[in-house]
Amino acid sequence: MGFTQPLLAQRALTGTVHDAQGAAVPFAVVELPARHLGVQANQDGYFSLPLPTDLIPADSLVVSALGFQRRRLIPATAAARLQLQALPVALTGVTVHAAATPPQWLGPEEDTDRFGFSQNGLSLEKNTGWQIARYFQPTATGYLTGARFFVKADGAGNCDKSLLKTPFRVRVYTADGPNGGPGTDLLTTSVLASATKAGWVTVDLRPYNLAFPAQGVFVAMEWVYTSDQFLCSYQYTQLLTKDKKTGTRYGQSLGGRLTTQTQTWYYTIVYGWRKFQSRNQTGQLRIGDAAIQAQYMP
């Protein structure tokens, strides 16, 4: 499958992603896998994908979204209305037992370093996807009942207040991906959260009945573009030249700590999941570990 000739001369493919009932599919991914190009739709399903000038008929478009079947197709017009089919959901009974021990939080106790993760270039036109995930594996079987994310100010001057309040999406994966990384989606419902101030943001995951697989889980923060109101310009000074510059930021900063052994992975649409690695082969150079916690119920 490939693109028809009218599309080859266009500079971008724009459109929306919908489900079978016509409702917008938020934050769907639209990509050209062979070209390592892709964008994430906004919460209204709108996307704009820049197209390479040397696009050929052999190239195909892939559309995917949380809770929907992946689709490969041939777009034929400049404005595309793409439809996805929902994945079948198997409903199972839930039995609630009194826990012998209270739920416990796994992961870093607090944000201890002046270190963090952020998505600097996010905008409606440049929405290429960014996730930070941390791995957890309890010593016994149980359920994932909550998650925490340390949201912090990032020193962007007048932008800090709006950046802190930017919504993000919570993702949960089984550790069954390549090289033991994030793989199967466990949380197939789109769950958004946001902070009111710097510090831990707690998300209740009890309604989703998420069991801890034997191989453990990854809990991730996903940066998503939801509204222009969270896009902010700020002033900064270049270190070398001392020139005054204007920067643009979108989205919160996720806190972290520096360590020699990280449990943190990162994701982009272009390259997929990768684990943060020390550049020093001895492992002595400290690298970032995300300030994410998981609540475990035995």
Q: Domain boundaries in the chain? A: 6-83, 104-297
Cα-Cα-Cα-Cα torsion 139, 140, 141, 144, nearest 10 degrees, comes to: -50
Q: pLDDT-based confidence at 124, cuts 50/70/90?
A: confident
Range name among 126-135, 195-204, 207-216, 247-256 with the lowest pLDDT average: 247-256
Q: How far apart are CA 224 and CA 47, in angstroms?
A: 12
Say what the pLDDT of residue 125 is.
73
Sheet containing strand 37-40, strands side by side:
37-40, 29-32, 61-64, 71-73
Per-residue DSSP letters for 185-215? BS--S-EEE--SSSEEEEEE-GGG-EE--TT
Q: How far apart are CA 87 and CA 25, in angstroms?
A: 13
Say what the pLDDT of residue 280 is.
59
Q: Is the pLDDT of residue 52 over 60?
A: yes
Range name among 27-41, 73-87, 214-228 with the lowest pLDDT average: 73-87
Please say whether the beta carbons of 15 and 79 come within 8 A: yes
Q: pLDDT-based confidence at 66, cuts 50/70/90?
A: very high
Which segment, 34-38, 107-111, 156-160, 291-295, is predicted with the most confidence on average? Answer: 291-295
Q: pLDDT-based confidence at 152, cuts 50/70/90?
A: confident
Please say whether the beta carbons of 123 and 250 come within 8 A: yes
How far are the Cα atoms of 82, 116, 153, 201, 253 from residue 158, in angstroms, in the given order? 39, 19, 11, 22, 15
Q: pLDDT-based confidence at 281, cuts 50/70/90?
A: low
CA 233 to chain centre: 23
**Terminal C-alpha separation, the chain:** 49
* Among the four given CATH numbers 3.40.50.10490, 2.60.40.420, 2.60.130.10, 3.40.190.10, the one describing domain 6-83: 2.60.130.10
Give, in words, the CATH class of 104-297. mainly beta
Q: pLDDT-based confidence at 288, cuts 50/70/90?
A: confident
Say what the pLDDT of residue 46 is.
92
Average pLDDT over the chain, rounded to whole? Answer: 83
Please say whether the beta carbons of 150 and 254 come within 8 A: yes
Q: How far apart are CA 267 and CA 67, in angstroms?
A: 18
Q: pLDDT-based confidence at 95, cuts 50/70/90?
A: low
Say what the pLDDT of residue 285 is.
67
- Tokens found for residue 223: 């940066």
CA-nearest of 3, 27, 7, 2 to 17 is 27
pLDDT in tens, 187-230: 999 999 999 988 999 999 999 999 888 889 999 999 998 888 88
Say what the pLDDT of residue 98 is.
54
Say what the pLDDT of residue 200 is.
94
More confident residue, 169 or 115: 169
Q: Is the pLDDT of residue 271 over 80?
A: yes
> What count of Cα atoms within 13 Å lies in the side-chain half-sphere of residue 240?
0
How far are the Cα atoms of 125, 186, 203, 263 from residue 292, in angstroms, in the given order? 29, 17, 11, 10
Q: How far apart are CA 68 and CA 87, in angstroms?
A: 5
Q: How far apart are CA 122 and CA 131, in angstroms?
A: 12
pLDDT in tens, 1-22: 344 444 444 578 889 999 999 9
